[in-house]
Amino acid sequence: MDVVGHFDQWNILRQQLDRGRLAQCLLFAGPEGIGKRLMALKLAQYALCEDGGIRPCGGCGSCLRIKNNESESVFQVNPIEQQIRVDQVRQVLHFLELKGFRKLRFVVVDQADAMNIQAANAFLKALEEPPEGTCVILISSFPWMLPATVRSRAVWVTFKPLKLVEIKSLFPKYPDWAVRMSQGSPGRLLTVVESADQGVRQKAWELVKAMLQGRRGEEDWGATINKNNYQSYLSFMLFYLRDLLILKTALPSNSNGNSLAPRKHLGESAHGLIYNVDQISEMEMWVSHLTFPFNEVSYLISWVTALRQNVDPRLALDGLVLARSFQGYSVI
Ligand SMILES: [Zn+2]
């Protein structure tokens, strides 16, 4: 996939490179899945392209080697089991000691915040005295988690999520609910659609309804939810809970706390904020019949958010459903 959008960042980096003023350490900061790593590789391709025409051509030997991670001028570092270890950083230092490069060379560190302390300390060496003609690009969605010593040596380039219209025009075949859930990230869009195809979205909705009704639901959730789909379940659940909260806000209540038909103007503006746009009627019907206290949904949201950190997904989610079943919500 090619870089999408981020034209300002691209033009600035390209011009700096052309003028020989590219910083020796860059920090690409911004949300996940919006093309930061692709931009780093595109910059390397631009600098090292062997074609005389518009750079990067994408088809010359150099461009292809970079794309396939086979370039001797570009060293890529990726976390192994969610950590960048000191031996990986030593490989970077070794790469930087190599002589005989005629052009620029690049070190691209993806998820740089995954460096452990030893790795970050070792990495500082590379940042303190980078060899001539070297550009180190750190990539991070959580830049504040990088040690301040590393952070302060880098020139920040900030990337923002794409606009939803951009996502829509790039992926016209994808449904609106998925485009909204992408939150401006093409990478997230693909993840969302893939896990929905596996039935996760549908089941997450069942689970949310079961929780709000204070029952366990039909499914054996402990068996359904596993280490691989856990985060997807929680994300979909958060989207639903958030949507329900917004729709609940948009509904007027009578003195018993029961919601009535939506106020027209509020209801319409609320719809613009909803992620699950294909299920608005269903969710509205649900919200208008539910008697759960207003703040219970936000309570559930904070609970599910906290669960995302939990190491034992099956146990945690099963526990959550069980705990809710003692609350005894009533549904008319
Ligand atoms: Zn090329």
Q: What is the pLDDT of residues 201-229, one digit of tens each?
A: 999 998 888 877 766 666 676 677 777 78
Of the two residues 145 and 267, the one the predictor is more confident about is: 145
Angle made by CA atoms 207, 312, 293, in degrees to the nearest 5: 40
Q: Are residues 240 and 142 in the same domain?
A: no
CA of 53 to the centre of ligand 1 (A): 9
CA of 62 to the centre of ligand 1 (A): 6
Residues of the chain with pLDDT > 70: what percent? 77
Does a structural domain hold residue 177?
no
Q: Are residues 155 and 234 in the same domain?
A: no
CA of 104 to the centre of ligand 1 (A): 14
Confidence category of residue 332, pLDDT binned at 50, 70, 90 = very low
Does a structural domain hold residue 331?
no
Does a structural domain hold residue 35?
yes
Confidence category of residue 105, pLDDT binned at 50, 70, 90 = very high
Helix, strand, or coil (residue 156): strand
C-alpha to C-alpha distances, 174 to 9, 34, 259, 275, 290, nearest whole angstrom: 27, 17, 33, 14, 32
CA of 235 to the centre of ligand 1 (A): 39
Any idea what DSSP says for residue 47?
A: H
CA of 47 to the centre of ligand 1 (A): 9
Answer yes or no: is pLDDT of 75 > 90. yes
Does a structural domain hold residue 141?
yes
Q: Are residues 274 and 131 in the same domain?
A: no
pLDDT given at position 92: 93
CA of 84 to the centre of ligand 1 (A): 30
CA of 134 to the centre of ligand 1 (A): 19
What is the residue whose two structure tokens read 């703040």?
295
**What's the mean pLDDT in 87-114?**
89
Answer yes or no: is pLDDT of 321 > 60. no
**What's the mean pLDDT in 233-243?**
87
pLDDT given at position 331: 34
Q: What range does the domain containing 215 cover?
A: 198-325
Amino acid, single-letter form, for residue 14 = R
Of the two residues 301 and 58, the one the predictor is more confident about is: 58
Q: Is the peptide bond before 56 cis (omega within 30 degrees of 0)?
A: yes
CA of 65 to the centre of ligand 1 (A): 10
Answer yes or no: is pLDDT of 324 > 70. no
Confidence category of residue 302, pLDDT binned at 50, 70, 90 = low
Answer yes or no: is pLDDT of 298 > 70. no
- The pair of structure tokens assigned to 190 is 């693909």
Amino acid, single-letter form, for residue 26 = L
The two beta strands, 134-140 and 155-158, are unpaired
Q: Are residues 62 and 112 in the same domain?
A: yes
Q: Measured between alpha carbons, how far is 16 from 36 in angstroms, rounded to an integer?
A: 18
| Residue 238 · residue 304 · CB < 8 Å | yes
Query: Domains in the chain: how many in total?
Result: 2
pLDDT tens by residue, 242-275? 888 888 777 665 444 454 454 444 556 777 889 9
CA of 302 to the centre of ligand 1 (A): 49
CA of 58 to the centre of ligand 1 (A): 5
C-alpha to C-alpha distances, 277 to 195, 196, 291, 296, 303, nearest whole angstrom: 18, 15, 23, 23, 24
Residues of the chain with pLDDT > 90: what percent? 45
Q: Measured between alpha carbons, how far is 7 from 5 in angstroms, rounded to an integer?
A: 5
Q: Are residues 93 and 223 in the same domain?
A: no
What is the residue whose two structure tokens read 């911004």?
30
Confidence category of residue 328, pLDDT binned at 50, 70, 90 = very low
Q: Are residues 150 and 212 in the same domain?
A: no
* Mean pLDDT estimate for the chain: 83
Answer yes or no: is pLDDT of 52 > 90. no
CA of 43 to the centre of ligand 1 (A): 11
Q: Measured between alpha carbons, how far is 5 from 164 in angstroms, rounded to an integer?
A: 12
Does a structural domain hold residue 297?
yes
Answer yes or no: is pLDDT of 190 > 70. yes
Does a structural domain hold residue 332?
no
Helix, strand, or coil (residue 3): coil
Q: Are residues 94 and 21 in the same domain?
A: yes
CA of 169 to the centre of ligand 1 (A): 27
CB neighbours (10 Å) of residue 83? 13
What is the residue whose two structure tokens read 């705990």?
323
Does a structural domain hold residue 183?
no
**What's the mean pLDDT in 29-47?**
94
Q: Measured between alpha carbons, how far is 114 from 123 in angstroms, rounded to an integer?
A: 12
Among candidate residues 131, 160, 189, the one where a domain is terminated:
160
Any idea what DSSP says for residue 132?
A: T
Q: Are residues 148 and 21 in the same domain?
A: yes
Q: What's the CATH code of the domain at 156?
A: 3.40.50.300
Q: Are residues 148 and 249 in the same domain?
A: no
CA of 51 to the centre of ligand 1 (A): 5
CA of 82 to the centre of ligand 1 (A): 32
**What's the mean pLDDT in 157-171?**
91
CA of 48 to the centre of ligand 1 (A): 7
Of the two residues 289 and 286, the one the predictor is more confident about is: 286
Among candidate residues 113, 132, 160, the one where a domain is terminated:
160
Q: Are residues 14 and 141 in the same domain?
A: yes
Q: Are residues 204 and 153 in the same domain?
A: no
- The pair of structure tokens assigned to 44 is 């390397």
Among candidate residues 160, 187, 217, the one where a domain is terminated:
160
CA of 60 to the centre of ligand 1 (A): 4
pLDDT tens by residue, 1-20? 577 788 999 999 999 999 99
Q: How far apart are the first and last CA of the chain?
A: 49
pLDDT given at position 1: 57
| Residue 107 · residue 75 · CB < 8 Å | yes
Does a structural domain hold residue 254?
yes
- The pair of structure tokens assigned to 88 is 């990986």
Q: Are residues 21 and 116 in the same domain?
A: yes
pLDDT given at position 317: 59
| Residue 171 · residue 61 · CB < 8 Å | no
